Amino acid sequence: MTKQITAWIQAAPMALVLLAFLVAPIVMIVIVSFWGATEYSIYPAFQFDNYQFLFGSPVTYTVFFNTLKYALITWALTLGIGFTVAYFLAFEVRSLKWQIALFLICTIPFWTSNIIRMISWIPFLGRNGLANSTLISWGVIDAPLEWLLFSDFSVILAFVHLYTLFMVVPIFNSMMRIDGSLIEAAKDGGATAWQTLCHVIIPLCKPGIMIGTIFVTTLVMGDFITVRFMSGSQRANVGRLISNDISLLQYPSASATAVVLLVTVLIVIGLLLRLVDIRKEL
Amino acid sequence: MEHRSRSFYVLGAFFALFVLFLYGPILTIGILSFQGPQGGLTFPMNGVSLHWFRDLFQEQAVGDIWGSFRRSFALGLMVMVTTVVVSVLGGLAFRKRFQGATVLFYLAIASLVIPSILVSLGVGLIFNQLGLPVHWASSGFGSQLTWTLPFGLLIMFAVFNRFDKSFEEAARDQGATAWQTFAYVVLPIIAPSLLGVALFGFTLSYDEFARTLLTSGSYNTLPLEIFGMTTNVTTPVIFALGTLTTIFSFCIIGVFFLAVWLMSRRRDNSSDAGKGMV
């Protein structure tokens, strides 16, 4: 057996799974987005009704704007927090043992249930929750804040809570690869800590920042459950538009929205990759 | 003690706050799940009891929790084993360059960034149109693999990038067949990393929601069951369930770390391989 054939056989299971459960479903969604639907069934057709309806409705634009807003704000917050945490782990913690231990503390929640992690905010943010009662007892506010739960605030809080990890891991990874002598050289050259950060560390972390950015933006843009749960169904994003159509059995319309969402996500990734040439950075 | 700069303390405090932010909420529901029978979803505690945990174990009290737990557990194991096997094979394939490698790599990356609901919707549509029933063990299983396999493959990349090829060459020079080289040389070396892949496979499957939503059929997995509860259960029983399943997740994570630790310790103690070279 030649090497080439062995490699093909070894790669085949992965290729088959991805073809069957990734490529085929996407193709199917694109096809169905041109189909028609009655109240209880869908039928094959080739019509642009779903897209016409989608682009003709002002709701669509509001919801897409909302989705991008969530993505942008979450991105900025996760980047700030994630970078700071990774910096602390990589440069301030000096023994490898502690670095690994603290890093694991940051990653363990990733292996637990997202839904439970969302639910666990409720006793904290609710009208009579911990945050409100603490603030009242400190005399900061007189009446409970209404915008803590079931608002944009709680949605973004949950996103940051769930996804900051996706920034910490790749940025930490980039930082650990930075040659210590580069930082020493900067110091010897008379750079302040701030200058070292801006001109040495951040540029060298670009690949990690990029990977984290792609993860966070795509996860937030594709989300529907966090928005639904944390906003108490009072806010909408594209994912919720899709899942609402699905619950009404309007699969063609859901598919058309899904296609537009996919294209949007791909455009965002394309733009990100243009901003930083990832191949040059690797 | 060595002197630390002020930035260490500032950043350290920031890190501590971050950890509190990560774990605070889950600790809160951990405490609240011990509410007394009259207690509500928030503080104050109305007595302390195991009432809500007892509720979980009474069959009719809340949905089909134990059935969904069994299904999630079984599905997690299926996904775990498949992810390990397929990722190792994939990793081996990528070490030899093959035609189509780039396409497969980008497919795997695409699998990570494509919104989960699209996978769920597409797989559901295909099964419907083919007249196949959706079931957690068929369509749900496949959909979850699109999330776990890319992680497995990326871990295998990291593993094989650091792999010292001279071990294999030595085995081959001694006359080992390709299979023997893999089974007795490569596999034992990469084994701890495979536990990592297994951990990803199991936990990501056990907690997956979006990809199973439209593909699991009439029998819910645990995350789906919990989500259903959030809309109609208004007692701390949901906190009790959340606490239990989080403890379960922590145990699983602990078991994996313990296994990795034991494995590396046994290797350090039992083998003198390589020591003569120093």
ipTM field: 0.88
Q: Which of B42, B88, B221 to mutate: most A Cβ within 10 Å?
A: B42
B146/A120 CB distance under 8 A: no
**DSSP states along A71-128:** HHHHHHHHHHHHHHHHHIIIII---HHHHHHHHHHHHGGGGS-HHHHHHTTHHHHSTT
A11/B115 CB distance under 8 A: no
Q: For residue range A127-138, what is the model confidence (pLDDT) as tens digits?
A: 888 888 888 888
**Distance between B41 CA and the closest CA of chain A, angstroms:** 6
Nearest CA in chain B to A113: B207
Q: Lowest-confidence range among A143-152, A222-231, B59-68, B90-99?
A: B59-68
- pLDDT band for position B277 (50/70/90)? very low
| Mean pLDDT confidence for A194-219 | 90
Residue type, B271: S
Nearest CA in chain B to A247: B214
Nearest CA in chain A to B203: A111
- CA distances to A37, A49, A260, B86 from A61, in Å: 23, 17, 12, 41
| Mean pLDDT confidence for B138-147 | 93
* Chain B contacts in chain A segment 190-209 (CB below 8 A): 193
The pair of structure tokens assigned to A195 is 């200058």
Identify which of B94, B122, B246 has the shortest CB distance to residue A25: B122
Q: Which of B28, B65, B97, B121 to mutate: most A Cβ within 10 Å?
A: B121
Using H for helix, E for strand and C for coil, what is the string for A147-200? CCCCCHHHHHHHHHHHHCHHHHHHHHHHHHHCCHHHHHHHHHCCCCHHHHHHHH
**Residue A23: CB partners within 8 Å, gap ≥ 6?**
B107
d(CA B71, CA B65): 10
- pLDDT band for position B230 (50/70/90)? confident
Domains contained in chain B, CATH given: 23-62+233-263 (no CATH), 69-221 (1.10.3720.10)
Residues of chain A contacting residue B135, judged by C-beta atoms under 8 Å apart: none
A21/B142 CB distance under 8 A: yes
B114/A258 CB distance under 8 A: no
Residues of chain A contacting residue B26, judged by C-beta atoms under 8 Å apart: 109, 112, 116-117, 120
d(CA A62, CA B235): 35
B90/A22 CB distance under 8 A: no
Average pLDDT, whole number, for chain A?
A: 89
Q: For residue range B92-134, what is the model confidence (pLDDT) as tens digits?
A: 999 888 888 889 998 998 998 899 999 999 999 999 889 888 8
Q: For residue range A158-176, what is the model confidence (pLDDT) as tens digits?
A: 999 999 999 999 999 999 9
Q: For residue range B144-176, what is the model confidence (pLDDT) as tens digits?
A: 999 999 999 999 988 888 888 888 889 889 888
Identify which of A11, A104, A111 has the shortest CB distance to residue B203: A111
B126/A224 CB distance under 8 A: no
Main-chain dihedrals φ then ψ at residue A62, nearest 5 degrees: -60, -45
Identify which of A87, A225, A258 has the shortest CB distance to residue B121: A258
Q: For residue range A62-117, what is the model confidence (pLDDT) as tens digits?
A: 999 999 999 999 999 999 999 999 999 998 888 888 998 999 899 888 888 888 89
**Helices (H) then strands (E): counts for chain B:** 12, 0
A113/B126 CB distance under 8 A: no
Longest dimension (CA), chain B: 73
Which of the 8 DSSP states describes residue B133? P
Domain at A33-281, CATH class: mainly alpha
For chain B, report the end-to-end CA distance as a whole number of angstroms.
34
